[in-house]
């Protein structure tokens, strides 16, 4: 019965399209990417790669798993650059992945987003997320400011896009914003509603606030 319900929830049109458009035939016929619900495919001009062994439903996009969210919310795919999966990924309903020209989003193994979150890579730079990371909802990660700020005297751009790198086993709480150039170390927790805009160098630590600062170190979290 669970399998039958699952099969009815899958958006088969986009599941077929994305698997066979992006993946080699030997991988595509295993349907490693499952698409759920309503999708706004703004652009599908880029590339999707799955590294390593594939299996059915390895990557699930738009799956509803939290009762507080409207199951009719639309998820967004805007792929012009490269979207790379290094293992399993579950990305919840109402979430958005946007990869601009020359940019990359790289997601580690066992990556999970609860719902309604956005990851944006632009400006030929990357957003890189490690293994075993859990994101809550209403999270925004972007490696660009989108609009240029210039020095009046030199006309040099002073807010160039910069990579965002999040380590392994990181838990990001609800409502967190992570901006360009940010680094988050392994085994950390980012507290709800925090703003990350720089380097968080301490492993096994909790960071929180605006901007995020060290709250407690020598911690370990399970989820």
**In this predicted model, what pLDDT tens digit does every residue of 175-186 receive, in sequence order?**
999 999 999 999
Q: Which pLDDT score is estimated for 4?
A: 78
Interacting residues of 200 by C-beta distance below 8 A, sequence separation 6+: 182, 183, 184, 185, 188, 207, 212, 214
Q: Say yes or no to pLDDT of 223 above 90.
A: no
pLDDT exceeds cutoff 90 at 6: no
The pLDDT value given to residue 37:
92
What pLDDT does 65 receive? 66
Which residues neighbour 55 within 8 Å (Cβ) at sequence distance 6 or greater? 30, 32
| pLDDT at 72 exceeding the cut of 90 | no
pLDDT in tens, 84-121: 999 999 999 999 999 999 999 999 999 999 999 999 99
Cβ contact 55:29 at 8 Å: no
The Cα 41–Cα 74 span in angstroms is: 10
For the stretch 123-143, pLDDT in tens is 999 999 999 999 999 999 999
Sequential DSSP letters for 11-69: -HHHHHHHHHHHS-HHHHTT--EEEBS-EEEEEE-SEEEE-S---TTSEEEEE---TTS
Residue 83 has pLDDT above 70, yes or no: yes
| Structural domains of the chain, ranges and CATH numbers in brackets | 2-217 (2.160.10.10)
Q: Which pLDDT score, from 0 to 100, does residue 132 have?
A: 98
Q: What is the mean pLDDT of residues 178-200?
A: 98
d(C-alpha 157, C-alpha 159), whole Å: 6
pLDDT at 122 over 90: yes
The C-alpha atoms of residue 58 and residue 212 are separated, in whole angstroms, by 33
Q: What is the pLDDT of residue 77?
A: 97
Q: What is the 3-state secondary structure (H, E, C) of 128-152?
A: EECCCCEEEECCEEECCCCCCCECC
Residue 203 CA to residue 18 CA, distance in Å, equals: 37
More confident residue, 206 or 223: 206
Q: What is the pLDDT of residue 71?
A: 74
- Which residue do the tokens 């996009």 mark? 61
Residue percentage of the chain with pLDDT more than 90? 89
Local confidence band at 64 (pLDDT 50, 70, 90 cut-offs): confident
Tell whether omega for the bond before 77 is within 30 degrees of 0, i.e. cis. no
Over the stretch 36-52, which tens digit does the pLDDT of each residue have? 999 999 999 999 999 99
pLDDT exceeds cutoff 80 at 191? yes
């Amino acid at each position: 019965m669970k399998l039958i319900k699952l099969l009815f929830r899958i958006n088969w049109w986009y599941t077929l399209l994305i698997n066979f458009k992006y993946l080699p035939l030997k991988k595509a016929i295993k349907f490693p990417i499952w698409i759920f619900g309503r999708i706004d495919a703004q652009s599908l001009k880029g590339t999707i790669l799955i590294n390593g062994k594939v299996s059915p439903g390895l990557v699930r996009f738009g799956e509803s798993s939290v009762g507080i969210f409207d199951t009719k919310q639309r998820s967004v795919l805007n792929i012009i650059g490269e979207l790379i999966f290094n293992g399993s990924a579950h990305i919840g309903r109402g979430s958005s992945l946007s990869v601009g020209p020359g940019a990359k989003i790289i997601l580690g193994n066992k990556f999970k987003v609860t719902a309604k979150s956005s990851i944006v890579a632009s400006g030929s730079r990357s957003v890189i997320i490690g293994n075993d990371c859990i994101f809550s909802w209403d999270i925004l990660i972007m490696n660009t400011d989108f609009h240029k700020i210039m020095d009046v005297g030199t006309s040099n751009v002073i807010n160039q896009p910069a990579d965002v790198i999040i380590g392994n086993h990181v838990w990001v709480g609800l409502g967190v914003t992570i901006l360009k150039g940010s680094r988050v170390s392994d085994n950390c927790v980012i507290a709800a509603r925090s703003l990350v805009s720089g380097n968080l160098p301490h492993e096994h630590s909790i960071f929180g606030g605006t901007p995020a600062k060290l709250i407690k170190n020598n911690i370990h979290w399970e989820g």
